[in-house]
């Protein structure tokens, strides 16, 4: 649903982009991050559920990096993602992140609103022509993982602050 919001969404990311935080950031239109933080899709390592929501990243990141992220659950320096153009700006402090995001919002606010909305909609529509079908297929593929015992074990282990014991079922 976040991808269908008509007004621009600016992510002011003052911490690590992991799991749900990564999902929210990838569905934002502009991203301002904090230097020294990390980025990751950790579902395969922690939650046992997978990440069908990551499909839009195929249009934002190199496929080998995305494949490594999804398969390993490893964390990467945010600077890598800035270098690839996924993060618009990196700032030194959380206050600077918020200030940059506010300045971007103010610049957008002062532009022609119909042009801003049309610009966002045209880019998202073109991207979604392949993205929507890919996400539907991914959700179907992940159906078994979401219904598995492992999908229960991941959050339970996380809450109990222990390593999950995967059973593959």
Flag the least confident range among 38-42, 105-109, 135-139, 149-153.
Answer: 135-139
Residue 107 pLDDT level (bands cut at 50, 70, 90): very high
State the Cα–Cα distance between residues 116 and 30, nearest whole angstrom. Answer: 13
Q: How far apart are the C-alpha atoms of 45 and 64, rounded to whole Å?
A: 18
d(CA 31, CA 101): 8
Tokens of 13: 């990311």
What gap in Å lies between CA 23 and CA 42, rounded to an integer?
11
Q: What is the mean pLDDT of residues 149-159?
A: 88
**What value does the mean pLDDT take over residues 29-53?**
88
- Rounded distance, CA 89 to CA 78, Å? 10
**What is the signed CA dihedral for 3, 6, 8, 9, rounded to 10 degrees?**
-40
- Whole-number Å distance between alpha carbons of 143 and 151: 11
Inter-residue contact 90 to 37 (CB < 8 Å):
no
Q: Which residues have C-beta within 8 Å of that of residue 165, sequence separation ≥ 6?
A: 153, 157
Considering the four listed CATH numbers 3.30.70.580, 3.90.1150.10, 3.30.70.360, 3.90.226.10, the one that applies to the domain covering 2-92+111-159 is: 3.90.226.10
Please state, in angstroms and rounded to a whole number, the distance separating the CA atoms of residues 117 and 15: 29
pLDDT surpassing 90 at residue 145: no
């Amino acid at each position: 649903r976040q991808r269908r919001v008509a007004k621009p969404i600016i992510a002011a990311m003052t911490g690590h982009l992991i799991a749900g935080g990564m999902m929210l950031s990838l569905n934002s239109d502009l991203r301002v991050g904090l230097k020294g933080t990390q980025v990751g899709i950790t579902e395969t390592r922690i939650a046992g559920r997978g990440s069908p929501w990551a499909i839009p990243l195929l249009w934002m990141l190199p496929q080998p990096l995305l494949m490594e992220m999804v398969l390993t659950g490893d964390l990467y320096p945010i600077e890598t993602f800035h270098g690839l153009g996924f993060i618009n700006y990196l700032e030194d402090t959380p206050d600077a992140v918020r200030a940059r995001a506010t300045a971007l919002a103010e610049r957008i606010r002062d532009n022609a609103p119909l042009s801003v909305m049309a610009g966002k909609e045209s880019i998202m529509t073109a991207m979604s022509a392949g993205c929507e079908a890919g996400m539907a297929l991914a959700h179907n593929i992940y159906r078994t993982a979401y219904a598995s015992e492992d999908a229960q074990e991941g959050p339970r282990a996380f809450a109990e602050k222990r390593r999950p014991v995967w059973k593959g079922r």
